[in-house]
Structure 1
Amino acid sequence: MRTLLFRRKKKPPETETHPKEKKKSLWRRVKEIDWKNPVNRWKLLFATLALLIVGGGGFGGVLAFTNSPTFCKSCHEMQPEFATFEASAHSQISCVQCHIQPGAVNMLTHKMKSMKEVYYHLTGIPEQIVQTPGEAIPNISCQQCHTTNRLVTASGDLMVNHKKHIDEGIPCITCHAGVAHGKIADRKLNTEKDRHLWTADNAEKLMTKEYMDPNMGTCIDCHDKVNKGQKPWEDVAYSLPRQVEHGSSKVETADANKAENTGKSQQIILQAIGMQHEDVKLSMECSTCHKEVDTPATHKRDKWKVQHGETAYKNVDQCVNCHKDTKWAKEVQPQNIQTLINHSEGKEQHSRSPEEKRSTLRTNEFCNACHGERPPSHGDSDDWLTKHAKKASTKPEKETCFTCHDKQKPQPESTTAKPPTDIYCQYCHRTGFKGE
């Protein structure tokens, strides 16, 4: 009896179900659901929504992260761009608000195109980051925040009809190329060898007003081309830095034709100072664009062109404020980042010492446009040689002479700025000067 009472009943052998049969049974279960029942339809709807929310949330999170400046700075080669962005007036908006046109389709298209940046990052860090024509910031991105109806700048001085420029098809970046990154690509400050120097403190020094604000040289160059019947902005490359290919170790400089461009720029400057105001489509007189800045009264005096030397020497800082080459030239020349950092706030300093004054005037291309040639005041060579002593009888008068002439024969290894002439005082005054 005990044996019978405690004997366990054998379970019927389980029949193994083939994987395909399991799938079929699951499919049968789905087919057997009564879809006419509203409860079942609601269950399906909730399940579908849950999957979409989870999947969409994950995709949206990834998209939001890749749109953030934090993601942009995660790549070493983007450190200069991120540091300048943080120091700019646009630091409160995201990178994509400028670099991607509004709209979901544009966003997704840009993400697909950006995969090539990942490729460049993995196969070899680019020597320099430079915007290509196909990725130039369009006007519509700027117009998300800025009105097109502005006629006068915030300072109240500069008169610029923005709508008229935009209607002509001129890209905003033609004038405002430095607003977010201070033209570091033009200045060649974002190359691989300098990326470690782009700290927040250094960015504050290097993001100076002259490179963030519109450059007068761009206005002058463009207006000059318009007067010749051209529309340079139709080639978007006109508004962008000099291009350099990804992965290339060679950085192209903007001074390949510096001598030719410099001479051309100085002639335009001379035209702009009161000469070009008739029979032109766009006058380049100061008063054409400025309400408060105009040609100084001293410049309108007779013979100012040949009698401004002493005034210029005494007030070199004031003169260079307007006649600095970088203000009048469109092309920005390559710079040395360490030199800029070592100078206070990255600004050019003009010492009051005679040596520094001479260096400033000698290296100024605007001055050399005329001083590279014999001044009319010097007259006939033979006559000038016997009568110029009265023009250099005092120390201040001699200092003005030394702007163009050296006292002693210039040495090839000298670090001082080269004079515009090879005539030096001791070539004739070999025994020295009276009183010395």
Structure 2
Amino acid sequence: MAENNDKGAPGPIRRLGVWVWGLAASAIGVAFVVGIVFWGGFNTVLEWTNREAFCISCHEMKENVYVEYRNTIHYQNRTGVRATCPDCHVPREWVPKIIRKIQASNEVLHKVLGSIDTPEKFNAKRATLAQHEWDRMKRNDSQECRNCHNFTYMDYAEQNRRAANVHQEAFNKGLTCIDCHKGIAHTLPPIEQHIGAEKEGAAQPPAVAPAASAASQR
């Protein structure tokens, strides 16, 4: 009887295997739960920072570009469709969105440093900031714009002649939205839209004609 009972009991190797498999299953289960919690928390933070309210929580944005944006068609229009800050500046696709969020860490640094914490500092850097964003949108083919606007969806017959001609020409030349539509939500800095060079004489007063100058001296 004792010999039969000994034969039916699992050996040490088998018991070790059962213990290892049980430990592995427990570890996988814990990792799965932790992963869900982490992903939920990560996604919550991601979406929380992807709101207009978060974007304008810094006075640099609220008191400068947000004021300009409130006076544009992207803020208020006849159709009631509003494009908020993240709609234009944060891609919807997950990988590009994460890349953009990582890039934003540099903006947090400049917030701490106070690089644009006054209107004077902001306007001094406006052209650089604008050009940086234009370059980004040029590289991604105006990805955020195309969430709402697309050449292939346009009914050119419903556009005025000039707009229809320009849009079709842009489509044929492979241009993208930001090539032409700069300054539609924020004040356009004094640089040329197409070449990005500062306008010659933009800050210079008009020259006085010699005749007028002579007359003023009499």
Fold agreement, TM-score > 0.5:
yes
Corresponding residue for 1:267? none
Q: What secondary structure, in the 3-state scheme, does the structure 1 residue paired with 2:183 have?
A: coil
Deviation of 1:123 after TM superposition, in Å, equals 2.2
Contact kept? 2:137, 2:143, Cα under 8 Å: no
Distance 1:125 1:96, change over 3 A: same
Letter in 1 for 2:166: N
Write the distance in 2 (CA, Å) between the matches of 1:29 and 1:84: 67
Q: What secondary structure, in the 3-state scheme, does the structure 2 residue paired with 1:423 have?
A: helix
Structure number with the higher helix fraction is 2
Corresponding residue for 2:185? 180
Deviation of 1:57 after TM superposition, in Å, equals 1.4
Paired residues for 1:13-412 under 5 Å: 31=20, 33=22, 47-79=30-62, 80-91=64-75, 92-126=82-116, 127-128=121-122, 129=126, 130-131=129-130, 132=132, 134-136=135-137, 138-148=141-151, 149=154, 151=156, 156=160, 158-159=162-163, 160-183=165-188, 185-186=189-190, 233=194, 238=195, 254=198, 257-258=200-201, 333=202
Corresponding residue for 1:423? 215
Write the distance in 2 (CA, Å) between the matches of 1:373 and 1:172: 45
Tell me how large the CA RMSD over aligned residues is. Answer: 4.0
Question: Percent identity at matched positions?
Answer: 21
Deviation of 1:372 after TM superposition, in Å, equals 5.0
Deviation of 1:77 after TM superposition, in Å, equals 1.8
Deviation of 1:120 after TM superposition, in Å, equals 1.4
Q: What secondary structure, in the 3-state scheme, does the structure 1 residue paired with 2:70 have?
A: helix
Distance 1:372 1:65, change over 3 A: same
Write the distance in 2 (CA, Å) between the matches of 1:87 and 1:100: 21
- Structure 1 residues not aligned, in runs of 5+: 1-26, 36-40, 188-216, 219-232, 243-253, 259-332, 335-362, 375-419, 428-436
Letter in 2 for 1:158: R
Letter in 2 for 1:57: G
Contact kept? 2:51, 2:85, Cα under 8 Å: yes
Deviation per residue, 1:344-388 (Å, 9 max, x gap) = xxxxxxxxxxxxxxxxxxx9x7xx9xx9598xxxxxxxxxxxxxx
Write the distance in 2 (CA, Å) between the matches of 1:180 and 1:153: 24
Contact kept? 1:151, 1:161, Cα under 8 Å: no
Distance 1:158 1:74, change over 3 A: same
Write the distance in 2 (CA, Å) between the matches of 1:180 and 1:104: 25
- Structure 2 residues not aligned, in runs of 5+: 1-15, 76-81
List 4+ stretches of structure 1 deviating above 6 A.
43-46
Deviation per residue, 1:265-323 (Å, 9 max, x gap) = xxxxxxxxxxxxxxxxxxxxxxxxxxxxxxxxxxxxxxxxxxxxxxxxxxxxxxxxxxx
Write the distance in 1 (CA, Å) between the matches of 2:156 and 2:21: 72
Distance 1:102 1:33, change over 3 A: closer
Distance 1:34 1:105, change over 3 A: closer
Write the distance in 1 (CA, Å) between the matches of 2:149 and 2:171: 12
Q: What secondary structure, in the 3-state scheme, does the structure 2 residue paired with 1:114 have?
A: helix
Distance 1:125 1:162, change over 3 A: same
Deviation of 1:29 after TM superposition, in Å, equals 9.4
Distance 1:76 1:51, change over 3 A: same
TM-score by length of structure 2 reads 0.62
Letter in 2 for 1:86: R
Contact kept? 1:68, 1:95, Cα under 8 Å: yes
Deviation of 1:45 after TM superposition, in Å, equals 7.1
TM-score by length of structure 1 reads 0.34
Write the distance in 1 (CA, Å) between the matches of 2:51 and 2:95: 18
Computing the radius of gyration over CA atoms, which structure comes out larger, 1 or 2? 1
Write the distance in 2 (CA, Å) between the matches of 1:67 and 1:34: 40
Distance 1:163 1:144, change over 3 A: farther
Return 59-68 or 93-102, whichever deviates more: 93-102
